[in-house]
Chain A
């Protein structure tokens, strides 16, 4: 499952993102989303930032560029992080490719 860097990926409507205590968690609520019924996914800081950055019209390359500027990091490195987490989330049906 390869991530298209020129595509837009959006969170599934069947995933609820919650901040509990200091944790940022994703709660899948529908059958077929997530790997097991009602498992919770805790995102680390990088994962959290990327999840929050998913938005309509914002391609992977756009997000990488914006985060690289914001965090003063290399665009290539950020893009790899984005591709890494999006690959996982896509496998779990927690995001979908827009359009």
Chain B
């Protein structure tokens, strides 16, 4: 709608309009690392009742101050995640405060703590973005084999039921690994038939390792759950046409060798505040050299000085320079400082799993031959041009 005095625009999927030139268009906030589920593949979860962690978490006032600062820098959207953000008794207060700054909210939750009061609040003050719910199983057995908490499936479904009953927009997301084929089908049916979703069911299957590099036994277990690169490609088969279309669009913008600079994504142009007030350049990157203590500084300082300096970093790792720096699958590969940190504790060590995954996808799309290594391909420009224009 336009008039003599005002024009209307919808945020739509854009997180940043109209603050696209703002210092901080979008912010992630991890309200707690604690979770009432104990999911076997999770990269961050800590015990629900860990008193030591709870006492270290930001207070309500500290969170509000951060949200207010973010608004002052033009922030239009905040994603609240965890752990389970609804474990915080002050979640409703934080939520309403954020909305009252004119910031829309995306909530990542397992929905087990969703209740009448919170859903009523969402009805009165809509988040502005769909709630994103993890639903790691379609029966109590399959869900609780992941969550390790008896009764959690019923609570999650009750939470989803409340969202549906109140007409609050939401998505569900699941996981897949070997042995969970039946559940995968059941989830896809639920998404397509019960929820009438207009997007394909979302499964995570290439799990991240622990973002704090803790729990070594769990790290090994998460690795064992990961779907092999070849299996990942098989999973794409069902949505091949849509995948190829997306990949073409993506390739046009982002593919080609990145060189020796480590940060080639949006990392550090916004960021993520952890549960204790440390500002990270992205949700996953917690390398000590890359995090900024907001209790000792400001968003502005982090965004104008600390992160830009970080983004200038170049690799001196021979293996990285030989492989990743010259690889045309860059942009298509998940290799990044955060993945390298989680896998190796460094910012620039090639992550074999990401590399193999990118190669498998490139072969699936016809960009690489069976034995080829992407960083050795000389005619990559021709291949990309052909792919982008003809597929």
Contacts and interface: CB of A to CB of B under 8 A. Distances in A.
Interface of A: 14, 16-18, 20-21, 23, 25-27, 29-31, 35-44, 46-47, 50, 81, 84-85, 88
Interface stretch (B5-13, B266-274, B338-346): B5-13
Interface of B: 1, 3-11, 17-22, 71, 74, 76, 99-102, 104, 123-126, 128
A43 to B, nearest CB: 5
B192 to A, nearest CB: 25
Given A44-B6, A88-B6, A38 B126 contact: yes
B104 A38 contact: yes
Contact of B21 (A21, A27, A84): A21
A4 B134 CA distance: 51
B6 A30 contact: no
B102 A47 contact: no
Given A18-B71, A23-B18, A35-B1, A42 B7 contact: yes
Nearest to A47: B5
Contacts of A41: 6-8
A37 B22 contact: no
B71 to A, nearest CB: 7
A14 B8 CA distance: 17
B101 A16 contact: yes
Given A31-B124, A44-B6, A21 B18 contact: yes
Nearest to A50: B5
Nearest to B129: A38
A42 B11 CA distance: 12
A47 B7 CA distance: 10
A40 B8 contact: yes
A39 B102 CA distance: 11
B374 to A, nearest CB: 40
B17 A31 contact: no
B6 A85 contact: yes
Contacts of A46: 4-5
